[in-house]
Structure formats: C-alpha cells, structure tokens
Amino acid sequence: MGGEKFTYMSRVDAKLSKLDRFLVCPSYLSSFPLSAVTAHLRELSDHSPITLTSVVSDFGPVPFKLFNSWFLKDGFDQIVEEAWNKFGGYGSPDAYLAAKFRFLKESINKWRRDESLNEKKDYNDTSSRVYELEKLAAVRPLSSAETDVWNKGINKIMDWERLKALDLKQKARIKWIVNGDENSMFFHGYINSKNRRNLLHGLKINGRWSTEVNEIKEEVFKY
C-alpha cells in the first residue's frame, strides 16, 4: 500500500490502524498482477479514501537479462559469434569493451525479437495441425504419415513448453532439488508475487504521495 501508512484513526484514543481493504478474487490478481492500493489523506474523515489501480507506470525498458534457454536455441551461438567479430570501435580498453558488450546485447535483443515472432507463428501452426489431426482421429484411423506428423508436432510443443518452464524457473529464481519438476502455474504465481513486492508504484515526495514517473525519477536521481 502506498500513500498513508494507516487507513483509520480513532477519534476516541487517536489510535491508528490499517482497517480498510479491497476484496478481490484470485482471477483478478492473475489478470492484473501488479495492481496497487493507495491510501489518501483523511482530512476531516476518520477513514482514508483508498484507491485500487491496475495501471502500471512505465519507467522505461527493463534491464537486459540473458536466459539460459537461449543457449539451447538454434542460431544463438552464431549470432553471438557474428556480433562479437563484427564490432568495430575505438577508445580506451575499458570503454571499448563496454561498447562491445552493448553492441552484443543489442544484437541478441534483435535476434530474440525476430525469433519470438517466428516461434509464436510456428507454435500456433503446429498446435492447429495437431488439433486437426486429433479431431480427424476421432472419426477414422490416422495414416502412418499423419501419425508421424502428429507425434512430431507433440514433441515440438513439449520442447517449447520445456524451454518456457526454464525461463519461468530463472525468473522465479527458485532452485528445484529434483530436475524436471515443472509447475508453470506455481512459477507464474511466484513471479507475480515477487513483481508486486519489487515494483515501485509511487514515492512520497515532500510529504505528498506521487505516482508521476518523471517526478519520481528526478527525486531518485538526487541520491
């Protein structure tokens, strides 16, 4: 909760408490995992007005993060080698190395954006084909060629899901004792909970709660 620390002040003994709440269902938290509550000034009331917002402030692009699953994808080694050898720069050794890493990061980001689009299209096409074959199998036996296509499609989907689970594990920063223990729903819930705790919804500036991105950045950069 941002803004005021408490939502109620008793007029009898001047005791403060967090009395007011929003009641939401798990489906809401799944749809809006980064929602935030703000408690405003009470003024003449003994209760603070509270607001619930699901709009997340845009503080700019997130920091670059390399996922372990990328090492298992075709073309990753090649894009790294090409970018590393292609870079041409100048300056002191430390500045040159920093610029080279930035160039490598930009090359990987571009490769990943293009690959994500291709993977999504390939995944949708494969899923549709598998679903069509399964519907066909309900009315007649599949031929050996159709069965082979179905098996290959299932294996591709399983590979994609395995790589997706690897990314979720890395985002959640959880080390499983047993390899292959994958629970995507649990990972999603854990990541959303962690993001809610770490996200900066607002900042108190000169005694006033602010959610303006530029104002928050200016205040943070002072320190």
Residue 210, beta-bridge partner list: 203
**Domain extent at residue 181:** 68-191
pLDDT value at residue 55: 76
Helix (H, G, I), strand (E, B) or coil at 209: strand
pLDDT per residue as tens digits for the range 28-44: 877 887 788 888 888 88
DSSP letter at 71 equals: G
pLDDT per residue as tens digits for the range 178-205: 444 555 666 656 666 666 666 777 777 7
pLDDT per residue as tens digits for the range 118-128: 999 999 999 99
Indicate whether 183 and 76 sit together in one domain: yes
CA atoms within 13 A on the CB side of 10: 8
Indicate whether 171 and 83 sit together in one domain: yes
Indicate whether 183 and 81 sit together in one domain: yes
Indicate whether 126 and 157 sit together in one domain: yes
Number of structural domains the chain divides into: 2
Indicate whether 26 and 90 sit together in one domain: no
Indicate whether 80 and 42 sit together in one domain: no
- End-to-end Cα distance, the chain: 23
**Strands of 2-3's sheet, edge to edge?**
2-3, 36-39, 50-53
pLDDT value at residue 198: 66
pLDDT value at residue 179: 47
pLDDT value at residue 201: 72
pLDDT value at residue 178: 43
Indicate whether 75 and 31 sit together in one domain: no
Predicted TM-score of the model (pTM): 0.54
Of 170, 174, 168, 160, which is closest to residue 188 (Cα–Cα)?
A: 168
CA separation for the pair 221, 132 (Å, rounded): 56
pLDDT per residue as tens digits for the range 5-27: 899 988 888 889 998 889 988 88
- As given in the structure block, the two tokens for residue 89 are 């720069």
Q: What are the C-alpha distances in Å from 92 to residues 82, 89, 103, 200?
A: 23, 10, 16, 37
pLDDT value at residue 186: 62
pLDDT per residue as tens digits for the range 128-180: 999 999 999 999 999 999 999 999 999 999 888 888 877 877 776 655 544 44
Which one-letter amino acid corresponds to residue 78? Q
Mean pLDDT score of the chain, rounded to an integer? Answer: 83
